[in-house]
Structure 1
Amino acid sequence: MALIALVGASETLPDGSLRALVTVAGETLFERQAARLADVGVTHIAVAVAAVPADLLATCDRVRRRGMKVTPVRAAADLIPLVEPDDRIILVADGLRAGGTHYAAIAKPGSPAILVTGDTVLTQGFERIDATRRWGGLASISQPMVAELAAMPGEWDMMLTLLRLAVQSGARRLYCEPALFEQGEIAIVTDRPTAALIEQSSLQQVEYGGMGLGRSAIMMPLIRLAGPLLVKSPNTARYLPHVTALLWIGVAALAASGLAAAGALVAILGGFGLTAMRFLSAFRAESAAQDRARDIIRTFAWVLLGVFPWLLALAGPGHRMPLFSEAALAPCLAATILLARALYEDSGERRRFHWLLPDADQAWIMLVPALIFGFAPLMFAILPLLALFQILLWLRLARRPDPR
């Protein structure tokens, strides 16, 4: 049994361009849909089209280069050869912008299902299901429904007719709150001004960066200021992981060359790179791949913090072992930050006061003046104690009952 997607790409905007190719935060809606579908296990996308213009062909080629098979279809008869009797087909509405959790919900194994929401002013762009419900833009159907449509005489709107067949067959209904449409988490993009509003709303709602004082108080606020520029170009997300990885390799090279302060300064730039990757993961189609790359780079940064004094010793006269306050306490500092991360990830719904916890960004920011002015051994002794104090303070505050 395979998962196949049928994505609508035939509706046009008032200017004549395809709705599926509207750009939000530097990526087309179709590319974002393809990435979300890939995250839930879809390997083949059938694109429901009336025509295949050159810009749609170019977009399909970009999706293919990411490992996804893409096939244009104009009628149910074109879809029949692509699916096996036990395959499941995910319907994606033309112009839909939705989060990964919604795709994951509709892709779960089981009988056919339809994502539905309330009939409100904010959901008028979605197809009506009944008197009080509208389609949420996603559905899963079975191969017999496609065969039934192919056998029907006349010309039918493939997407909407398959949706109607799913409704008539009694498909399960997965409800999502209309408030998600107000927040821009789910939307049908009907024109470019709507796309601009969704982009602006998304930029305003990105959280300040998860765990850590350095990231939440310094890094993410600055990245948010540059947010509109970061999301405009698709090349930013494509090259940012490579640039960030090179920065952290540069930190190691500078430390091994004896340039401690320069290495710490570059580490701060590397921290900005990781924060920017975290910021872009809320928007970009490559979010799943970026998350994996960010985890690898972040792990390398943690290890680098722990072995930083040893790298400096490699460049020193006689390559002598660093002072105990640096050699022993630097790994302790890295371990304490890992402990903070583990506690934060296990906290579940109690992820309050996350900005109190220590992180590598905070450590590098505090190490820069210490390395420049020559009191690094003292700072390496202070930082683990400060990190433990932050963790204890966070544990005390996070365990208090939420006043709400």
Structure 2
Amino acid sequence: MKLALISLAKDDLDGNGPIALLPLFAGTLLDLQIRAAQRIGCEKFIFLCPVTHGALLQKIDAMKQQGLVAEYVRSPSDLVQYASDQDQIIYFSDGILPNEEVIDQLIGTPQELLFTVLHADEYQEFERIDLNQRWLGMVSLNASRLTAMIDVPDDWEVGSALLRTAVQADCPRAIISDRRMGGGAIAHVQSEISAGQFTRQKLKEMPAKRDNFLNRFLLRPLTKRGLPKLWKQASASKYLGIFTIFTGASAVLAAAFAYPIISLILLFLG
């Protein structure tokens, strides 16, 4: 069985709470990490969180209601009780999100992989392994190696402990090239600013093929400018839904009273 370990140990750079709970274009960063883990084939989810957060507990309850296995732990030594030697661990560090290409590398037969990038000035936010490579915050590891973490102090960062274990075990390394990094192979979100940059990048990548004139030059630019601001609001989806229903009903009413222009405008707004 594949087991996802997702870290919520670090707060964002603005001190607003765990990086994983930052809002993005399709929920929180944690939601996207969970979806990525599900794509890889993870059936069990363990969240590493030294401090209990209400939003995380609500997420775990929602996952359990969906029939998923989800728990959270406070320290490295607690991980052993949730994994058997036959499990495969997929670890996501704080703020780390892989793209489809990296996910495809982990789909299928379980394998040990340590994702790295060649050392360069632009990658200084990633932990250094040796003179030539830095760790990208993702590792696939056999759960049997967790026994090496039983005696790790509780204040030891889980990611660093897993990295040390993987390096000592001489795990194969998957080196991500500069070209793939530039293409978003591994996203590293650390603050509201980088979350906004990530959101805008994803909006730019929205498919533009077969677009008509209205979509290309009016609706799409409005979407790209408006959605990042709306997604920061906790109740934006509810209000947008109510607004869409209201404008649609109003458009039908306007059409019934023979006001076609007003009806079209309301439909457009909806």
TM range (shorter): 0.7 to 0.9
Change (3 A) 1:65 1:38: farther
2:59 is matched with 59
Partners in 1 of 2:123 and 2:66 — Cα distance?
A: 32
The CA deviation string for residues 10-65 of structure 1, in whole angstroms up to 9 with x for no partner, is 10124431111111225211111001111221121111111112233233344445
Query: Retained in 1: the 8 A contact 2:90–2:141?
Result: yes
Counterpart amino acid of residue 27 in structure 1: G
Instruction: Please say if 1:5 is aligned against 2:4.
Output: yes
Query: Retained in 2: the 8 A contact 1:111–1:172?
Result: no
1:141 is matched with 141
Query: Of 219, 224, 227, which aligns to 2:224?
Result: 227
Query: Retained in 1: the 8 A contact 2:200–2:224?
Result: no
2:123 is matched with 123
Q: Describe how 1:276-287 pairs up with structure 2 within 5 A.
A: none
Query: Retained in 2: the 8 A contact 1:106–1:114?
Result: no
The alignment partner of 1:129 has SS state of coil
Extract unaligned runs of 5+ from structure 1: 248-264, 274-404
Change (3 A) 1:97 1:111: closer
Counterpart amino acid of residue 144 in structure 1: S
Partners in 2 of 1:220 and 1:173 — Cα distance?
A: 42
The CA deviation string for residues 341-382 of structure 1, in whole angstroms up to 9 with x for no partner, is xxxxxxxxxxxxxxxxxxxxxxxxxxxxxxxxxxxxxxxxxx
When structure 1 is superposed on structure 2, of 104-113 and 169-178 the one drifting more is 104-113
Counterpart amino acid of residue 142 in structure 2: S
Query: Retained in 2: the 8 A contact 1:184–1:201?
Result: no
The CA deviation string for residues 75-133 of structure 1, in whole angstroms up to 9 with x for no partner, is 23322222121110101111112213312313442431111112233322222222121
Query: Retained in 1: the 8 A contact 2:26–2:32?
Result: no
TM-score, scaled relative to structure 1: 0.53
Query: Retained in 1: the 8 A contact 2:84–2:144?
Result: no
Counterpart amino acid of residue 220 in structure 2: R
Partners in 2 of 1:139 and 1:221 — Cα distance?
A: 42
Partners in 2 of 1:108 and 1:120 — Cα distance?
A: 32
The CA deviation string for residues 232-271 of structure 1, in whole angstroms up to 9 with x for no partner, is 448759x99xx9xxx9xxxxxxxxxxxxxxxxx9xx98xx
1:159 is matched with 159
Partners in 1 of 2:149 and 2:36 — Cα distance?
A: 27
1:86 is matched with 86
Query: Retained in 2: the 8 A contact 1:76–1:147?
Result: no
1:43 is matched with 43
Extract unaligned runs of 5+ from structure 2: 249-263
Instruction: Please say if 1:20 is aligned against 2:14.
Output: no
The structural deviation recorded for 1:68 is 3.1
Q: RMSD of the TM alignment (CA)? A: 3.1
The structural deviation recorded for 1:66 is 4.8
1:114 is matched with 114
Query: Retained in 2: the 8 A contact 1:126–1:135?
Result: yes
Change (3 A) 1:28 1:153: closer
Query: Retained in 1: the 8 A contact 2:2–2:90?
Result: yes
1:402 is matched with none
Partners in 1 of 2:124 and 2:133 — Cα distance?
A: 11
The alignment partner of 1:174 has SS state of strand
Partners in 1 of 2:18 and 2:152 — Cα distance?
A: 28
Query: Retained in 1: the 8 A contact 2:43–2:68?
Result: yes
TM-score, scaled relative to structure 2: 0.76
Query: Retained in 2: the 8 A contact 1:84–1:143?
Result: yes
Give the number of the structure whose residues are more often helix, by fraction.
1
Change (3 A) 1:236 1:88: same
1:303 is matched with none
Q: Describe how 1:194-273 pairs up with structure 2 within 5 A.
A: 194-208=194-208, 210=209, 212=210, 215=211, 219=215, 222-225=218-221, 226-230=223-227, 232-233=230-231, 236=237
Partners in 1 of 2:175 and 2:183 — Cα distance?
A: 16
Structure with the greater relative contact order (CA < 8 A, sep ≥ 6): 1 or 2? 2
Partners in 1 of 2:78 and 2:69 — Cα distance?
A: 15
The alignment of Structure 1 onto Structure 2 pairs a total of residues equal to 241
The alignment partner of 1:43 has SS state of strand
Query: Retained in 2: the 8 A contact 1:118–1:177?
Result: yes
